[in-house]
Structure 1
Amino acid sequence: MPLDFAQLTPSIPFILEGLKVTLKIVAIAAVLGFLFGILLALLKISRIKPLIILADLYTSIFRGTPLVLQLMIIFYGSPQLFGTQIEASVAAILAFSLNSAAYISEIIRAGINAVDKGQKEAALALGVSYPRMMMDIILPQAIKNILPALVNEFITLTKESAIVTVIGAADVMRRSYMVGSDLYSFFEPLLFAGLIYYVLVIILTFIGKLIERRLKGND
């Protein structure tokens, strides 16, 4: 059967409306995942053994199980656990944040360990407190070094956000599937959804390279 993208034209605004859901989930999950990832990374490099074990266990669980499983447990398990059904977008934000934090924590931990230990020793010798040393000296350098890896994680998060369709969130993928059902033709709307995700990835890649160039220019 020949492709007919003309029949898709009236449904394009409907599909693009799903961008609001996609971008909302990705943006909030990225921020929360990044902040929680920093906390996990700090726990992993601490000298308190129980905290190290706890952080490593958390990372092992969320990296060792499928994201779609985590999403479905949070969404479909919420009535049993909390006595109420949480919204699909909230479940997605929670699942993506918790999952992303596990990966980001490893990235940040590697970045912190890559910073010259002499700077840490010099800061402590000057009487700089540990929290201030981490926030003002170590973390900025670590994040600068791991920026490409962080951007890659955010790109992965953007693409994986498409799985929210399994819990009925009206994102780009879900709306494309709905249009395909109405038209009895799935290839065109799904291809259009793929184009949307591709453009989002290109934009994220460009922003990441722009920030990276600016940081290098400040050296």
Structure 2
Amino acid sequence: MPLRKVLGGTQSLSRWVAALLALLLGMAALAGTVVTTGAPAQASTISRAVKGKTFRIATDTTFAPFEFRDTTGELVGIDMDLIQQIAKTEGFKVEIQSLGFNAALQALTSKQADAVIAGMTITEDRKQVYDFTDPYFDSGVQMAIAKDNEEIKGYKDLKGAIVAVKTGSEGEAFAKRNASKYGYTVKAVDQSSTMYEMVKSGNAQAVIDDYPVLAYGITQGNGLKTVTAKVRGGSYGVAVNKGQNQDFVAAFNEGLAKMKTDGTYNKLLKKYLGGQGTTGKGAAAHKLSFFGLVRQSFPALMLGLKNTLLITAMAFVIALLIGIILGLWRVSPNRILSWVARIYVAIFRGTPVLVWAFFFYLGVPQLIGHKISIWLAGALTLSLNSGAYLVEIVRGAIQSVDTGQMEGARSLGLTRRMALRRVILPQAVRIATPSIINQLVIMLKDSSLLLAIGFGELLYQAQQIYAANFRVTETLFMVGVIYFVAITLLTWLANILDKRMNR
């Protein structure tokens, strides 16, 4: 490459990055707008201790009919309506964090949340760690099988079978207590919809779950049928950390008592469970066609796509800065800088993305004593992980430039730093651009892992949809198509930019 031509390309990197970032932000803007809702607060015999306060309430993501999203994307269910009604009556506000059951408990422990309401059974073991409100629902468990299964009639027919349960649920505890008695193997998963799909696909022969959850799923067409009577179980309560947020506990108990007295509580249960274990709100009168499901799901999926593109854009900017700076350190003659870059790359390339997602969102707040935004936690997770790969991409690109280019620049009187900036880096940009585009695509796909901490990206929104309608295969097919179109379009536009910037 002629030296004069190289000297003219010093601004290509900044222009290329700015244009690529503009593409991501533009795609995010097309995906939709963020919709937020707030909890109303009206004064009615309010306890002074909680009046005007805002409590962060962590909950599960998919536990219909206790918490799930309706067709508008609103989080509804017995738990959600209950806590909102009590907050209204007692004069406090709630900020709902939809995380998943295990992540909700971790958020409570790390003080990212003040309480957990997620169909949580009150047990003696849990009382050692948490304080509970008065029970608000008496539960029980049932067993269900595929509706075309005529071989299994009860627990005695489960010998050698696999029984799916939900992690942390009363159904899991019941199944484990009786596994040796009936000779089956327990398989625990995170979501009710996953359990039902396992049974329908033949990967499990039965499912044991809380009876209202099973009843709701069956009315929604989850392809199962119950074959046992309800076994009386424990009671659900709202959990707080031991010795903390006692004002919230007292307010919740007072509000619950008022609802039971004035009949509001029974109306709430009937709304979702009906008279015979059926559901009111959310029950489908008929099964939507696939295109009807697409129309119904489109707003929520577009919101998820927008969040995916935005978090990817944020993380990409940070990761690219890290990659450039530490990539230069990596090839620096300064041993200290070189080893700092080496250690960073080794740490973040050698550990899973999910570990860092939980660390930044749940672990760091315990270390610093301050809440971290889920957007910040997500951006740090993606950027630091991808930054490690970009460091190696930058290093490799710089070292791929012919050493004669540096020698020629020095012979013209340029210092090593000037030669690097005006001769070596413009050529390295051309070499690294395809790999950087590839890393951007990987980052966009890796953003789906953030659903584990409750970030509302595309796959998270899909889970909310099929948790309510149990049409898992069709919903995931739609998500796959959206990812394919978004990534193909992004790659195509990035390649066009690459050709224009680096020609």
Q: Is the structural similarity TM-score above 0.5?
A: yes
When Rg is computed on C-alpha atoms for both structures, the one with the higher figure is: 2
Is structure 2 residue 346 aligned with structure 1 residue 60? Answer: yes
In structure 1, distance between residues paired with 2:488 and 2:288: 26
Residue in 2 aligned with 1:31?
Answer: 317
TM-score by length of structure 2 reads: 0.41
C-alpha displacement of 1:62: 0.5
Is structure 2 residue 499 aligned with structure 1 residue 213? Answer: yes
C-alpha displacement of 1:78: 2.1
Structure 1 segment 15-164 matched on structure 2, within 5 A = 15-164=301-450
Amino acid at match of 1:7: L
In structure 2, distance between residues paired with 1:99 and 1:44: 17
Residue in 1 aligned with 2:232?
Answer: none
Residue in 2 aligned with 1:203?
Answer: 489
1:168 to 433, 444, 454: 454
Partner SS, residue 17 of structure 1 = helix
Residue in 1 aligned with 2:478?
Answer: 192
Amino acid at match of 2:305: L
In structure 1, distance between residues paired with 2:449 and 2:336: 34
> Which structure 2 residue ranges, 5 or more long, are not aligned?
1-222, 224-286
C-alpha displacement of 1:24: 1.1
> Which structure 1 residue ranges, 5 or more long, are not aligned?
none
Partner SS, residue 456 of structure 2 = coil
In structure 2, distance between residues paired with 1:149 and 1:88: 28
Amino acid at match of 2:347: I
In structure 2, distance between residues paired with 1:7 and 1:204: 26
In structure 1, distance between residues paired with 2:495 and 2:410: 34
What do the CA deviations read for 1:130-161 (whole angstroms, capped 9, x no partner)? 44333322112111112111111111001111
C-alpha displacement of 1:4: 4.3
Larger fraction in helix: 1
Amino acid at match of 1:24: L
**Conserved? CA contact 1:147–1:208, under 8 Å:** no
More deviation in 21-30 or 179-188?
Answer: 179-188
In structure 1, distance between residues paired with 2:476 and 2:371: 29
Q: Size of the alignment, in residue pairs?
A: 217
CA RMSD of aligned residues (A): 1.9
> Identity percentage over the alignment?
34
**Conserved? CA contact 1:124–1:130, under 8 Å:** yes
Amino acid at match of 1:135: R
**Residues 68 and 3 of structure 1, relative CA distance in 2, 3 Å threshold:** farther
C-alpha displacement of 1:8: 4.0
C-alpha displacement of 1:85: 2.0
Is structure 2 residue 466 aligned with structure 1 residue 180? Answer: yes
More deviation in 147-156 or 3-12?
Answer: 3-12
Partner SS, residue 372 of structure 2 = coil
C-alpha displacement of 1:203: 1.2
C-alpha displacement of 1:215: 5.0
**Conserved? CA contact 1:25–1:93, under 8 Å:** yes
In structure 1, distance between residues paired with 2:420 and 2:369: 41
Amino acid at match of 1:60: A
C-alpha displacement of 1:86: 0.9
In structure 1, distance between residues paired with 2:288 and 2:341: 51
What do the CA deviations read for 1:147-187 (whole angstroms, capped 9, x no partner)? 11111111100111111100101111111100111112222
TM-score by length of structure 1 reads: 0.92
Amino acid at match of 1:132: M
